[in-house]
Structure 1
Amino acid sequence: MYNILIVDDEPLICRGLASLLETSGLDISNIYTAHNGYEALDYVKMENIDLLITDIQMGAMSGIELMQQAKIIKPWVQVIVVSAHETFQYAQLAIRLGAKDYLIKPINSEQLLNSVRHVLLHMDRSALNQEDMISDLREHFRMDQPLPQRTEILNRLLTEKDKIFTEQMYELEEINQVSLKGPYFTVIKIRLDFSSNSKAATFADKDRLLLQYAALNIVNEVLDKKWDHHSFYSPHEEISIIIQWDETSYGDSSVDKINQLEMIGRSLHFNIHKFLGFQSIVGISQILKGREFLNELNEQVNKAIVWNREHKDHHVFYFGDFKWDIICEDPTEEDLVAQSNMIVERANEYIHQNYTQKGLTLNEVAQKNHVSPNYLSYLFKKNTGSNLWEYVIKLRMDESKRLIQNTDLRRYEISERVGYESPEHFSKIFKKYFGISPSEMKK
């Protein structure tokens, strides 16, 4: 059973789409509707949303921005975008951010149902048991394997510091279809943790190679043609990915690229665990200009993965989250803990100062503390025991309760004071939190 969220600033369209889906016979548990991006984000944070269907132009927060924010919170949420405009730029950006379809208004009912059916069917694929999966992989083992010489060249580019930019290396790249023109690059590394699955840990070497091959195929499916990338085997049961941008694509400032990379990392970890049954650790480097820095980017991902020592229950690490200039090259456990505590304390201060602000997002709190949303969410929950956004809602609800019981302010005035876009949305959150409406509490 799936939960679907429909977002459009026209209530009539929301009701129409909800009614269509309710009578479709699809395996749907709940259908939620929201009339702006901020209201929609609260649903994403508080409910187990599987599919988001959103309009692209909605006033204060566009559908594109909603997609970005939703996927920061839960990268596995699937998205279908609807728009009144057949604009290539919008469609291209939506697909690049991971939208599964881009539909033009007025929406054709059958087209929408086919699109939703396709997305839900894809989500319904579950991991095979380990023996069946290995059997299935063996059956397809004749599928194209990565070219050994290409893999060797790419690994040399990441690991060798000297004499790698000679004419001979460029010739080898050309022969083996390795195009690294950039000029902007980042590196992602996936360390496969077979020990996290007791059965996988005991497999023969050839079967572990099959699992690595399956993981590489998952990488290529997640990145698909949306990203200009090279993915390849690296030593120690790792998979490396080099992503590159040309000047034009990198100059597009409509998307926060670090957040996008973290979404990719979390999606890779999620899908490898879902379909192959074991954990992985994902390291993400910064973005640098010039292929001569590939070695440095590789060192960054290796350092980022080190933080799994301190955070064994966390699996995606961005190099820029860790203040390497204020700790030693090989940080102690005390160094790691002190830095984590400092990040949470600063975030807590910022939340207390700004929780009544309309449109406050996890991304904003993270940016003010110079860390990624993914890492901040993890640290906050680990250190305080509370989900960060649940904590924001708690502060808002406690303040609204105080205002209801101690002032004569109207509902819309209280809604404004605690940071909600509309009195109706405020009332929904209030009733969900306290079990009674604001007017019932007032009585």
Structure 2
Amino acid sequence: MVYKAMFVDDEYMILQGLKMILPWEELGFEVVYTAKNASEALDYLTDHTVDLLITDIQMPEMNGIEMIQQAQITGNHFFSIILSGYQEFNYVKQGMALGVRNYLVKPVNKQELRKSVIAIAEELAQQEHLALEKELYQESSLLLWLNDELNESEYQHLLAVQQVSVAPPYTVLQFMGDSKQLAAIHQLYQKQKQPFRLPGKIEEGQLTVIAVGERQKVIDQLNQVIEDIQGSWQVIVSETAAAWEDVYHAYEKIKQVQSLQNFYPDLFMAEPIIPVSILERNEEQPLLSFNKALTIGDRKTVQAELDDIFDTLTQAQADPEHVRYTAFLLFNDMYRQLPALSDENHEVILHKIKEAQSLADLRELFDDILRLVKSQPSQKRYSEIVQKTIQLIEEGFTHDLTVKAAAEDLHVSVVYLGQLFKKETEMSFNQYVNRMRIKHAQKLLLQTTQTVSEVGDSIGYNNTNYFSKMFKKLTGLTPKEFRDRYSQQYESLD
């Protein structure tokens, strides 16, 4: 890495001498600019950055200390060394307050300057290393967050490391396009100080951003991005996630849309913005609530959500292609959560959705799906190793179960099992365990008089507060609300 150095002095010979006094390139620096006064230097810093600034203290109009102070006020960050014709304690004191690294008396001692420059280069390298570590940690944490593997304390730690104080809601953006365009988009969001960005797949044509703000606000901002960065890129915009725990739901919908885009490209128009929405316009219609209704597993609740969605589509006179697109999203959720649906069912139903001629056809199809789920047993649609993993989860979910322990029992690598399990079930190991626990908790809440705390303990959650949060995260209800609402009228989907 070559660092940038700038010299400021009102004496031409001093500026030339500074260029010659040390082998700057050998020490890792490029002298990018020299200025004969503070005004010139500040003008340069308006549009450029430097890593090291060496300046005279006494100059016309503005001295070196005042210049450094002004540069810092406008957001510049650099190491600085001050030169002076004599020692002046007051200047030294002011320089220390501004973080000046050294105060050298003219004529400059070559060895002392070299020593200071080497120390600064080492510190810059250390800062770079720490910044890279922070970036890798951030990207790793964001991936965990998007895949529902980040707990609340880890989420708070991520915010602390990022040194940001943000509050929900969030909107997930998945950009697709040329790597140069995506790099420009990433830079734009960086300038806007959007803290949650995953640039790691830009070279593969993808950029993920967890934008802070509700969807319509984010879409309004995207319209400006479209004006600023021309090209054929597209972005899928999630529903608004009202809480950090819902971000992974929003991201899952984006992945479903990407899958649909790959298999059924004719479903999607050429516009750059593709909203995850049941309407062509950008009104919010919470598909997330349908996902939670499926987790609750009550037939009337799921039917009510479907009726609400289809009624909204009818009232909006939605375009047929968009109605089919919505039906794909709804069915993908059902297939993922309802093991009674087989691979064969999946193929047949997808074909029926694609060929549906009316909204009434689709309503009838979803009624048929609910009847099918009720009438046929759970299907073994996974590979043998994933089936065995599910069996281990069913037998041990009340204990502290980890993918590492499961991998050891099955004599396979942790990475292999984790990836295979996620690929086939579309859930991480931890997600599956939590869903299994919550489904069992629902039975206990409906069929026993155990307290919420006792139910949590019996399914493997030692902390009642954490159990309640996880229950609400997956169902949209607290354990008490679930018991109160369904204790007298619960009809299981299967």
Instruction: Tell me if both proteins adopt one fold, taking TM over 0.5 as the criterion.
Output: no
TM-score range, shorter chain: 0.3 to 0.5
- Tell me the TM-score normalized by structure 1: 0.33
Larger RCO (CA under 8 A, 6+ residues apart): 1
- Tell me the TM-score normalized by structure 2: 0.30
- Which has a greater percent of helix? 2
CA radius of gyration, larger in: 2
